[in-house]
Amino acid sequence: MKSHDPADQKGALAKVARRLFWWMPPEDALRDEMRFLAQVMALGTWDDVAASQAVYPVEVWKSALRKAPAGVIDPRSWIFWHVRLGMMPVPPMPSRHLA
Mean pLDDT taken over the chain = 91
CA nearest 20: which of 72, 65, 70, 61?
72
Q: At what angle do helices 6-20 and 33-43 cross, to 10 degrees?
A: 70
Work out the number of other CB atoms within 10 angstroms of the CB of residue 27.
11
User: What would the pLDDT profile of 26-63 be if each residue is shown by its tens digit?
Assistant: 999 999 999 999 999 999 999 999 999 999 999 999 99
Mean pLDDT of 61-75: 95
Per-domain residue ranges of the chain: 6-84
Backbone torsion region of residue 70, taken as left when φ is above 0, otherwise alpha when ψ lies between -120 and 50, otherwise beta: beta
